[in-house]
């Protein structure tokens, strides 16, 4: 007799009925008699729910002859003496028993929670009592405290090994007294379930196979319903107990064995039963208890792998994907310590188990990516594989980072000092190898995508590589992996730069609001304006034409700022995000066109320097930053919050309002520091003075020729006061050694400290409109200042008549009609200001998008009106529609257009 191997058991339950698993040493497998576990495999440590294998059943073609009596159904835990004699008699009639048997016995855990697997040898005619004696000699456990379990039944001491049908390499379980159990019905159901499976796998009852599979299916249903039969509320303890029974009795092993059986109908029955169990865990169990199913689903995956199932086997993929969806309730064990401390509501899985899934999926993605760019092209990566990789990779990377601590990126080959990761060394090396391979395959796919995009630009009908919709997700996963290894992040960044065209296309086409794409901030240099704008707009709710709920406003034009502020101050963010309905008092029009005009007018009022909220930059009057003296209005902070909401809503509705932020304001919204070069536009005088101080000869500065100390003379509300830039600043003289610090403090006070409250309130109002308030800094960080300029102000180019004409369609007119030819000729002769007024009259668009007319939500329309030519043109700004009658001459048309292109005419929608 010898000790096979030892490993820990975690969170051992106190139930006497607990059965442990065992591990045979033979690696061989066949379709029915499958060796379900290897000796050196660690037991999946998942809280209090271990999994156990079932002893391999008889296969008709197995090289060892087995007794058929072991398959006889029995409803009791022990056999009578007469049935034992009968069984032994039949055994001798069929095949003589082997002279020597080797079998495995799993012992009870010690006080430390560790259990042992014993390898025993005995004669087939030795009694069970003699086996108990052998166990006592090794374990010192008294014979009367021992109970041996085999195939779900307790072995009686007076029986022989042959009478109990114990085969060579069989697995027995040693437990304590089994005088009672908390879940007798569950044990009975599982026992009957396994007996049915064994009968089906023997293949000797083909005539009643269909009946048996139906009975088996009903047993699975009955067992699952038993868990919830006692109470309407599914509780953790009874659920864990029932699943413990399921696992202890080796039901997962038996079901996989049935699935892999070659006999007709068995595979389908096993498939249905396993899916039923997994779906029950996903859809019936409350999310807080889902972790209890993790070890069993993991066991299904491992058993199918060891049984020779293909990694593309549908049932295996289903179980793997189901496990992936449960990874939010999983903790990965910390290395070789098997640390079980932490959240008890999460299942524990070994690092190696998760690593195997990651390696498997990365290898599959490599194969699929290479096949998708090689004729004949394959469908490319599947969405299931991609989502599963993300689910397994994220916690795996987190486990490595957590375990490594502050040691930084991992060098390869690993240094001797990297003792913290020594237990992961082979896995970390193979993970890096797969990273290199997958990144290489991904670059080939991106190169192929760029080739297809170049061809598509020249001609229509070119198809992009299949599966390219998943490239962005794979890139995100590889970005996570690259951060673990020294030099990998730079390598990954270089690949993105080489394939910038493809990356930008993927972001614009496939990045959605439902996914987190903040990893792209690390590679902002790879993106262009269109990408960054798309990324930022995903953080805002999507503007819709039809809303279930809307926030209604009736505004007096003469009081637009005050009344708009009142409406917004009483509104909750949800209603503002839902939709806005705008109407001006005593005016007829409503709809999107009126809303566009309101945005422009209210922003003009907010950023009007006379209202003391914002200051315009001296060098660029379009640029604004918060006014330090805004406190002249007691409500100024509420107005800044209102301003933030308005600007966010304008961006959400894609309305260009004609104003832009100064860099000092933009940087603070992005959570970045303000430097000397950043204040150039906001305060040219201060910028120039600071530059001179820094560039002045050191001896002159040290001679106190400047007469400066660390103070600032501030004027507020007509009075002046001295502010110290640091404690004791009035006594600190500026010299060549501290002048850089002086300039830094000066800038910080002037453009940060003095407007901290205003910036914070604006940011709060802006974040109220975002999909998630925590994304406020991320929104501005994702953009360049020039990007925000184009999004808020729009195009600075003069209106192009050719672009205007190219994006205009006709209703009632044809492009060759005289009235249309006259119209465009007249527009071409207009001044720039007249064209702006005409565009605003037509569309309520005061500032075109940076793309010009192509950036508008729809084309423009000229509609043939049936009214008299004495009437002036009219418009439906909501639909970008201009209406005019078929004027008899160009002179008449020019006169009508001259009237509507006067500023006071084109700035309202008519009165009641």
For every residue of 246-296, which 3-state class applies, written as one string? HHHCCHHHHHHHHHCCCCCCHHHHHHHHHHHHHHHHHHCCCHHHHHHHHHH
Tell me the percentage of the chain whose pLDDT exceeds 90: 50
More confident residue, 334 or 253: 253
168 is a domain residue: yes
Q: Give the integer Cα–Cα distance in Å for 420 and 616.
A: 56
Scored b (16 or more CB within 10 A) or e, 323-335 reads bbebbebbbbbbb
| Pair (311, 249) in one structural domain | yes
CATH number of the domain enclosing 114: 3.10.20.90
| Residue 753, helix vs strand vs coil | helix
430 lies in some domain: yes
pLDDT digits (tens, 9 = 90+) for 822-840: 999 999 999 999 999 999 9
Domain boundary among 509, 538, 573: 509
Output the six-digit token pair for 333: 């064990």
Q: What are the tens digits of pLDDT across the range 310-361?
A: 778 999 999 999 999 999 988 887 654 444 445 567 888 999 999 999 999 9
pLDDT (0 to 100) of residue 18: 34
Same domain, 498 and 559: no
Instruction: Tell me the CATH number at 746.
Output: 3.30.2160.10
Do the domain assignments include residue 516? no
pLDDT at 656 over 70: yes
Q: Which tens digit of pLDDT belongs to each residue from 720-739?
A: 888 899 999 999 999 999 99
596 shares a domain with 576: yes
Burial class (CB in 10 A: 0-12, 13-18, 19+), 908: middle
Mean pLDDT of all residues in 681-685 = 93
Report pLDDT for 128: 92
pLDDT category at 259 given cuts 50, 70, 90 is: very high
Could you tell me if residue 534 is inside a domain?
no
Query: Is residue 831 domain-resident?
Result: yes
The HSE-up count of residue 393 (CA atoms within 13 Å, CB side) is 27
Alpha-carbon distance 529 to 900, whole Å? 36
Total structural domains in the chain?
6
Give 799's contacts (C-beta < 8 A, 6+ positions apart). Answer: 832, 835, 836, 839, 848
User: How far lies 833's CA from each of 131, 622, 791, 829, 839, in Å?
Assistant: 103, 18, 22, 12, 10
Q: Same structural domain for residues 295 and 320?
A: yes
* CA distances to 180, 199, 338 from 164, in Å: 22, 17, 37
Beta bridge partners of 615: 625
pLDDT tens string 40-92: 333 333 333 333 333 333 333 333 333 333 333 333 333 333 333 343 344 34
Q: What is the mean pLDDT of residues 851-873?
A: 92
Q: What pLDDT shows up at residue 460?
A: 62
Torsion of CA 674, 680, 684, 687, to 10 degrees: 60
Claim to verify: residue 149 and residue 107 sit in the same structural domain? yes
Instruction: State mean pLDDT over 539-554.
Output: 78
Q: Compare 286 and 864 and report the one with higher pLDDT.
A: 864
Q: Is the dihedral of CA 294, 299, 302, 303 positive or negative?
A: negative
Lowest mean pLDDT among 89-103, 381-395, 410-424, 514-528: 89-103
Would you say 877 and 596 are in contact if contact means Cβ atoms under 8 Å apart? yes
With beta carbons less than 8 A apart as the criterion, state whether 580 and 551 touch. Answer: yes
Give the model's pLDDT for residue 889.
Answer: 95
Same domain, 241 and 283: yes
| Model confidence band, residue 108 (pLDDT cutoffs 50, 70, 90) | low
Q: What is the CATH number of the domain that holds 651?
A: 3.90.1750.10
pLDDT of residue 513: 83
Closest CA to 73 of 219, 178, 223: 219
Of 836, 895, 587, nearest in space to 884 by CA:
895
The answer to whether residues 880 and 842 touch, using CB atoms and an 8 Å cutoff, is yes
Domain assignment present for residue 725? The answer is yes
Domain membership of residue 838 (yes or no) is yes
pLDDT number for residue 226: 84
Query: Residue 659, Cβ neighbours under 10 Å: how many?
Result: 22
pLDDT of residue 229: 66
Assign 3-class secondary structure to 85-152. HHHHHHHHHHCCCCCEEEEEEECCCCCCCEEEEEEEEEECCCEHHHHHHHHHHHHCCCHHHCEEEECC
Average pLDDT value for residue range 181-192: 84
Higher per-residue confidence, 515 vs 609: 609
Domain end residue (candidates: 455, 485, 509): 509
Residues 291, 430, single domain; the answer is no
- Mean pLDDT (the chain) is 82
Same domain assignment for residues 706 and 760: no
Helical packing angle, 592-606 and 832-843, nearest 10°? 130
Instruction: Say what the pLDDT of residue 231 is.
Output: 44
Structure tokens belonging to residue 672: 């970045």
CA 175, CA 17: separation in Å to the nearest integer? Answer: 7
Tell me: do 598 and 714 sit in the same domain: no
452 is catalytic: no
**Contact present, 306 and 38 (Cβ < 8 Å):** yes
- Domain boundary (157, 176, 195) is at 176
Among candidate residues 523, 521, 516, 522, the one with its CA nearest the CA of residue 539 = 516
Contacts of 76 (CB under 8 A, 6+ apart): 153
Are 243 and 251 in contact by the 8 Å Cβ rule? The answer is no
pLDDT at 147: 84
Q: Looking at residue 31, what is its pLDDT?
A: 26
> What element of type H or E holds 165?
none
> Do 773 and 805 reside in the same domain of the chain?
no
Q: Which of 421-430, 724-733, 759-768 has the highest mean pLDDT?
A: 759-768
**Residue 15 pLDDT exceeds 80:** no
Closest listed residue to residue 799, CA positions, set 845, 856, 848: 848
**Domain-located, residue 48:** no
- Claim to verify: residue 742 and residue 759 sit in the same structural domain: no
Q: Are 435 and 488 in contact (CB under 8 A)?
A: yes
Q: Which of 94, 103, 33 is nearest to 66 (CA)?
A: 94
Are 495 and 443 a contacting pair, CB within 8 Å? yes
Lowest-pLDDT range of 304-308, 560-564, 812-816:
304-308
Structure tokens at 12: 């051992």
State whether 889 and 846 are in the same domain.
yes
At 548 the pLDDT is 60
The span from the CA of 598 to the CA of 65, in Å, is 89
Mean pLDDT for 445-454 is 90
Q: What mean pLDDT is predicted for residues 790-807? A: 93
What is the total residue count of the chain?
A: 912
Q: Which of 397, 452, 878, 883 is catalytic?
A: 878
Could you tell me how far CA 587 lies from the centroid of its own chain? Answer: 48
Can you give the CATH number for the domain in which 872 is found?
A: 3.30.2410.10
Q: Which domain holds residue 162?
A: 100-176
Q: Where are the alpha helices (DSSP H) in 405-499?
A: 425-458, 471-482, 488-498
């Amino acid at each position: 007799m010898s000790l096979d191997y030892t490993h820990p058991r975690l969170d051992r339950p106190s139930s006497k009925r607990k059965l442990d698993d065992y591990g045979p040493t033979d690696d061989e497998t066949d379709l029915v008699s499958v060796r379900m576990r290897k000796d050196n495999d660690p037991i999946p440590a998942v809280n209090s729910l271990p999994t156990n294998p079932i002893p391999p059943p008889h296969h008709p073609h197995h090289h060892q002859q087995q007794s058929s009596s072991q398959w006889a159904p029995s409803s009791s835990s022990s056999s009578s003496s007469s049935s034992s004699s009968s069984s032994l008699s039949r055994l001798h009639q069929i095949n003589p028993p082997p002279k020597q048997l080797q079998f495995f016995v799993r012992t009870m855990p010690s006080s430390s929670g560790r259990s042992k697997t014993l390898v025993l040898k005995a004669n087939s005619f030795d009694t069970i009592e003699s086996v108990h004696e052998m166990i006592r000699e090794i374990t010192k456990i008294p014979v009367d405290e021992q109970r041996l379990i085999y195939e779900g039944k307790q072995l009686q001491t007076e029986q022989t090994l042959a009478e109990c049908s114990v085969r060579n390499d069989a697995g027995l379980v040693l437990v304590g007294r089994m005088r009672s159990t908390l879940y007798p019905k569950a044990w009975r159901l599982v026992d009957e379930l396994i007996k049915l499976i064994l009968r089906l796998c023997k293949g000797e009852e083909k005539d009643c196979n269909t009946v048996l599979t139906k009975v088996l299916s009903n047993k699975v249903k009955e067992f699952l319903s038993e868990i919830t039969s006692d109470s309407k509320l599914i509780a953790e303890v009874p659920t864990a107990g029932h699943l413990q029974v399921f696992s202890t009795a080796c039901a997962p092993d038996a079901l996989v064995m049935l699935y892999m059986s070659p006999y007709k109908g068995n595979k389908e029955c096993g498939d249905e039963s396993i899916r039923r169990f997994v779906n029950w865990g996903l859809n019936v169990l409350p999310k807080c208890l889902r972790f209890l199913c993790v070890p069993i689903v993991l066991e299904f995956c491992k058993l199918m792998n060891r049984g020779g199932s293909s990694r593309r086997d549908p049932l295996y993929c289903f179980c793997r994907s189901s496990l992936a969806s449960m990874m939010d309730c999983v903790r990965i064990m910390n290395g070789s310590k098997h640390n079980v401390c932490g959240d008890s509501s999460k299942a524990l899985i070994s690092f190696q188990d998760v690593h195997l899934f990651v390696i498997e999926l990365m290898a599959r993605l490599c194969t699929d990516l290479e096949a998708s760019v090689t004729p004949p092209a394959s469908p490319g990566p599947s969405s299931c594989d991609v989502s599963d990789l993300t689910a397994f990779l994220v916690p795996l990377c987190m486990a490595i980072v957590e375990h490594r601590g502050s040691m930084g990126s991992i060098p390869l080959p690993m240094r001797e000092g990297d003792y913290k990761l020594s237990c992961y060394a082979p896995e970390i090396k193979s993970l890096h190898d797969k990273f290199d391979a997958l990144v290489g395959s991904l670059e080939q796919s991106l190169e192929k995508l760029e080739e297809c995009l170049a061809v598509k630009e020249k001609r229509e009908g070119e198809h992009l590589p299949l599966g390219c919709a998943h490239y962005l997700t794979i890139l995100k996963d590889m970005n996570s992996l690259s951060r673990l290894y020294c030099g990998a992040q730079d390598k990954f960044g270089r690949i993105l730069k080489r394939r910038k065209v493809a990356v930008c296309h993927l972001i614009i086409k496939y990045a959605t609001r439902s996914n987190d794409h903040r990893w792209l901030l690390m590679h902002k240099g790879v993106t262009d304006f269109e990408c960054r704008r798309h990324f930022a707009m995903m953080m805002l709710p999507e503007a819709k034409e039809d809303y279930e709920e809307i926030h209604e406003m009736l505004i007096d034009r003469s009081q637009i700022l005050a009344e708009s502020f009142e409406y917004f101050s009483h509104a909750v963010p949800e209603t503002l995000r839902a939709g806005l309905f705008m109407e001006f008092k005593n005016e007829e029009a409503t709809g999107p066109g009126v809303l566009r005009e309101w945005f422009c007018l209210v922003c003009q009022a907010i950023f009007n320097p006379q209202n003391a909220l914002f200051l315009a930059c001296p060098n660029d009057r379009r640029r604004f930053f918060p006014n330090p003296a805004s406190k002249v209005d007691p409500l100024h902070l509420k107005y800044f919050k209102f301003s933030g909401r308005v600007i966010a809503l304008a961006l959400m509705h894609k309305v260009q309002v004609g104003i832009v932020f100064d860099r000092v304001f933009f940087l603070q919204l992005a959570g970045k520091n303000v430097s000397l070069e950043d204040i150039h536009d906001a305060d040219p005088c201060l910028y120039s003075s600071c530059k001179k101080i820094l560039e002045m000869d050191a001896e002159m500065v040290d001679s106190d020729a400047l007469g400066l100390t660390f103070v600032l003379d501030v004027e507020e509300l007509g009075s002046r006061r001295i502010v110290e830039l640091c404690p004791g600043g009035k006594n600190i003289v500026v010299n060549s050694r501290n002048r850089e610090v002086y300039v830094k403090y000066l800038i910080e006070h002037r453009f940060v400290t003095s407007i901290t409250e205003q910036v914070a309130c604006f940011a709060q109002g802006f974040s109220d409109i975002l999909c998630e308030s925590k994304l406020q800094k991320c929104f501005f960080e994702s953009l360049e200042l020039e990007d925000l300029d184009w999004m808020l102000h729009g195009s600075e180019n003069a209106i192009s008549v050719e672009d205007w004409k190219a994006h205009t369609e006709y209703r009632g007119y044809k492009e060759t009609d005289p009235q249309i030819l006259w119209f465009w000729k007249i527009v071409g002769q207009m001044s720039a200001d007249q064209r702006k007024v005409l565009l605003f009259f037509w569309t309520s668009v005061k500032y075109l998008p940076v793309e010009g007319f192509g950036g508008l939500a729809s084309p423009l329309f000229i509609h043939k009106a049936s009214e008299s030519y004495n009437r002036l043109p009219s418009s439906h700004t909501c639909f970008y529609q201009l209406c005019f009658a078929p004027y008899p001459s160009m002179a008449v048309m020019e006169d009508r257009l001259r009237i509507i292109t006067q500023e006071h005419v084109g700035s309202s929608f008519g009165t009641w």
